[in-house]
């Protein structure tokens, strides 16, 4: 690739460039454009946050918290509250302990989401990430709906250097899951990552299929750590919230993989998702390469977004 290997934080920052240009430049313009904190100042700030896709709920909570602090500290000048705003956004994203236990335990991870959001890519990246941590990873190609799907995943398995259990096109996805779960047990794999279809003949079908896969995993591997990660495309904005809600009716969602954060100016969606759904964003995708999947950390995210200088640089 010829590309110099960049540090983790540098890649995150680069991935968030568009969002930073959108939200932060807007905020900076308000901070320099207003000489005092007044209602107009708050209104413009609200507009910027909503435009950056932070969502109505998160935006109003961020502003309430900011206003309370401005009042109690008797602040008058916009620049005096910039850091408070950053802190307020960070707090809004903190939904408590984000669990990565499955990375260390024996686990089965079902990766779900609509077509094109980045499921297969994320399974490949996650396989590489976990393998790099010394885990024995197996992946299951349960998207048997499209002919090219298994082939695409096989390439990722190859890149990540892990084994794949596949099924023929048109095979019952649940039977692939059955085979994969039993292979994971027999081979003493640590983590089984299951890629799934984003589309079947209709939506009801898709949801029923997911329930069936979950039942099979529970039956065949009752004691294993379970994760259902829904993949959402960061460029789709508020629509991502709608998708997550739909999938939450078919599966017990344990986390979110938010992809294409490098291609969106609306990375604020990460804030909206955490606060509106209460489901932790566990990973974010910041590019198409195998190393472009990162654990999500609210602190780092906000620092990268606001270009806060950290020790890592």
Ligand X SMILES: Nc1nc2c(ncn2[C@@H]2O[C@H](COP(=O)(O)OP(=O)(O)O)[C@@H](O)[C@H]2O)c(=O)[nH]1
- Which listed option, ligand X, Mg ion, none, makes contact with residue 78 (CB within 5 to 8 Å by class)? none
**CB-nearer residue toward ligand X: 115 or 158:** 115
Phi and psi of 293, rounded to 5°? Answer: -130, 130
Any contact of residue 78 with ligand X (CB under 6 A)?
no
Taking alpha carbons only, the member of 188, 124, 187 closest to residue 158 is 124
**CB-nearer residue toward ligand X: 59 or 236:** 236
**CB-nearer residue toward ligand X: 198 or 280:** 198
**CB-nearer residue toward ligand X: 113 or 255:** 113
**CB-nearer residue toward ligand X: 243 or 254:** 243
- Which listed option, Mg ion, ligand X, none, makes contact with residue 205 (CB within 5 to 8 Å by class)? none
Please report, for the chain, how many H helices and E strands are present, in that order. Answer: 13, 8
Any contact of residue 151 with ligand X (CB under 6 A)?
no
Tokens describing residue 45:
């700030």
* Shortest spacing between CB 93 and ligand X, in angstroms: 19
Query: Which residues touch 86 (CB under 8 Å, ≥6 apart)?
Result: 302, 306, 308
In angstroms, rounded to a whole number, what is the distance separating the alpha carbons of residues 223 and 221? 6
Q: Select the span of 115-123, 170-178, 179-187, 222-230 touching ligand X (CB under 6 A).
A: 115-123
Helical (H) or strand (E) element with 111 = strand 107-112
* Shortest spacing between CB 273 and ligand X, in angstroms: 15
**CB-nearer residue toward ligand X: 37 or 266:** 266
- Which listed option, Mg ion, ligand X, none, makes contact with residue 85 (CB within 5 to 8 Å by class)? none
- Which listed option, ligand X, Mg ion, none, makes contact with residue 150 (CB within 5 to 8 Å by class)? none
Tokens describing residue 215:
């039942």
Sole residue written with tokens 């939506």: 203
From candidates 285, 294, 300, 302, binder to ligand X by CB under 6 A:
285
- Which listed option, ligand X, Mg ion, none, makes contact with residue 280 (CB within 5 to 8 Å by class)? none
Helical (H) or strand (E) element with 184 = helix 173-186
Residue 99: DSSP 8-state: P
Residues 235, 266 contacting (CB under 8 angstroms)? yes
- Which listed option, ligand X, Mg ion, none, makes contact with residue 260 (CB within 5 to 8 Å by class)? ligand X
* Shortest spacing between CB 66 and ligand X, in angstroms: 31
Any contact of residue 236 with Mg ion (CB under 5 A)?
no
Helical (H) or strand (E) element with 164 = strand 163-165
Any contact of residue 259 with ligand X (CB under 6 A)?
yes
Query: Which residues touch 135 (CB under 8 Å, ≥6 apart)?
Result: 103, 190, 191
* Shortest spacing between CB 149 and Mg ion, in angstroms: 5
Any contact of residue 11 with ligand X (CB under 6 A)?
no
From candidates 22, 88, 120, 122, binder to Mg ion by CB under 5 A:
120
**CB-nearer residue toward ligand X: 108 or 286:** 286
Residues 31, 82 contacting (CB under 8 angstroms)? yes
In angstroms, rounded to a whole number, what is the distance separating the alpha carbons of residues 244 and 83? 31
**CB-nearer residue toward ligand X: 103 or 233:** 233
Distances (CA, A) of 29 to 33, 55, 69, 108, 125: 6, 21, 21, 47, 37
Residue 187: DSSP 8-state: T
**Which residues lie near Mg ion (CB under 5 A)?**
119-120
**Which residues lie near ligand X (CB under 6 A)?**
113, 115-121, 198, 231, 259-260, 262-263, 285-288, 292
């Amino acid at each position: 690739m010829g590309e110099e290997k960049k540090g983790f934080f540098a890649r995150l920052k680069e991935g968030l460039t568009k969002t930073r240009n959108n939200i932060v430049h807007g905020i900076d313009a308000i901070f320099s454009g207003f000489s005092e904190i007044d209602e107009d100042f708050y209104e413009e700030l609200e507009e910027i946050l909503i435009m950056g896709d932070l969502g109505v709920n998160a935006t109003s909570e961020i502003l309430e918290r900011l206003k309370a602090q401005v009042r109690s500290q008797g602040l008058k000048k916009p620049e005096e509250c910039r850091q408070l705003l950053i802190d307020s956004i960070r707090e809004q994203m903190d939904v408590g302990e984000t669990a990565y236990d499955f990375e260390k335990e024996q686990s089965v991870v079902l990766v779900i989401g609509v077509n094109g959001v980045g499921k297969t890519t994320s399974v490949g990246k996650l396989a590489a990430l976990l393998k790099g941590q010394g885990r024995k990873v197996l992946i299951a190609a349960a998207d048997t709906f499209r002919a090219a799907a298994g082939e695409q995943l096989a390439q990722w398995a190859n890149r990540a250097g892990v084994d794949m259990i596949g099924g023929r096109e048109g095979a019952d996805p649940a039977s692939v899951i059955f085979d994969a779960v039993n292979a994971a047990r027999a081979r003493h794999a640590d983590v089984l990552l299951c890629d799934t279809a984003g589309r079947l003949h209709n939506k009801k079908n898709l949801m029923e299929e997911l329930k069936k896969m979950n039942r099979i995993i529970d039956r065949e591997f009752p004691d294993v750590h379970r994760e259902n990660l829904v993949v959402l495309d960061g460029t789709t904005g508020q629509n991502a919230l709608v998708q997550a809600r739909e999938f939450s009716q078919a599966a017990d969602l344990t986390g979110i993989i938010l992809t294409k954060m490098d291609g969106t100016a609306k990375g604020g969606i990460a804030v909206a998702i955490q606060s509106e759904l209460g489901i932790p964003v566990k990973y974010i995708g910041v590019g198409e390469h195998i190393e472009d999947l990162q654990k999500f950390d609210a602190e780092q995210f906000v620092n990268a977004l606001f270009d806060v200088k950290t020790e890592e640089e």
